[in-house]
Chain A
């Protein structure tokens, strides 16, 4: 699943480690989510979105799921 975490993180001048600490996961988890290798759970997606003060659908791209349903 595509997402804007990397862009948002860089715009805030945060490292993966710092973001991971803020949302309570490991740096590897943030790295995997950014690369699209791992899909974050709903609570984690909420935490990340809340940290950037944005809605989940802004941070995460759900268009793939929508096209799967059609």
Chain B
């Protein structure tokens, strides 16, 4: 249980630092008027759209991190919730489900990419090359992780 508590404390620290970084980033973006520089040669509607999307992403990230920070703090301070989360985090059936979900997702992603590659070969060479690169990267990462876990267990 101590390990879990230490992990939660570390998570809380990370969320706190991430929140500060995001707030500083937002202030810099607003103060330096990064978007205004683009505005000289841009369409007004496009500028509004870019501004909205950027602001939306940053505010969304801030609220998301804030939510995670409050949640981890609440978990650490509330004993009942802490025990519930501990059981949930260490439940072997849940871990088994997650492993299967991740493995199946990767397999399906690979199959979808192969189908996309076949289609893209007839339509666009650049897209086809990009898909081949992604597939190669997936296989390389698979190989590296396989050798890592083979030596580990």
- A: residues with CB less than 8 A from B are 20-21, 24-26, 28-29, 32, 38, 40-41, 44
B: interface residue count bin: under 10
B90 contacts which chain A residues (CB < 8 A)?
24-25
Q: A26 to B96, Cβ gap below 8 A? A: no
The answer for the CA separation of A24 and B85 in the assembled complex, in Å, is 11
A29 contacts which chain B residues (CB < 8 A)?
91-94
The answer for the CA separation of A28 and B90 in the assembled complex, in Å, is 13
B87 contacts which chain A residues (CB < 8 A)?
20-21, 24-26
B88 contacts which chain A residues (CB < 8 A)?
26
Q: Which residue of A lies closest to B83 (CB)?
A: A21
The answer for the CA separation of A26 and B90 in the assembled complex, in Å, is 9
Q: How far is the CB of B99 from the nearest CB of chain A, in Å?
A: 13
A41 contacts which chain B residues (CB < 8 A)?
92
The answer for the CA separation of A44 and B88 in the assembled complex, in Å, is 15
Q: How far is the CB of B3 from the nearest CB of chain A, in Å?
A: 14
Q: Which residue of A lies closest to B94 (CB)?
A: A26
Q: Which residue of B lies closest to A28 (CB)?
A: B93
A44 contacts which chain B residues (CB < 8 A)?
92
The answer for the CA separation of A28 and B96 in the assembled complex, in Å, is 13
Q: Which residue of B lies closest to A26 (CB)?
A: B91
Q: B91 to A25, Cβ gap below 8 A? A: yes
Interface-central residue, B87, B88, B94, by most chain A CB under 10 Å: B87
A20 contacts which chain B residues (CB < 8 A)?
87
Q: How far is the CB of B11 from the nearest CB of chain A, in Å?
A: 21
Mark contacts of B93-105 with chain A using CB atoms, 8 A cut-off: 1 yes-contact digit, 0 otherwise: 1101000000000
Q: Which residue of A lies closest to B92 (CB)?
A: A41
Mark contacts of B59-100 with chain A using CB atoms, 8 A cut-off: 1 yes-contact digit, 0 otherwise: 000000000000000000000000000011011111010000
Q: Which residue of B lies closest to A38 (CB)?
A: B93
Q: How far is the CB of A35 from the nearest CB of chain B, in Å?
A: 12
The answer for the CA separation of A25 and B90 in the assembled complex, in Å, is 7
B92 contacts which chain A residues (CB < 8 A)?
25, 29, 40-41, 44
Nearest first, the 3 closest Cβ-Cβ pairs linking A and B are: A29-B93, A26-B91, A25-B91
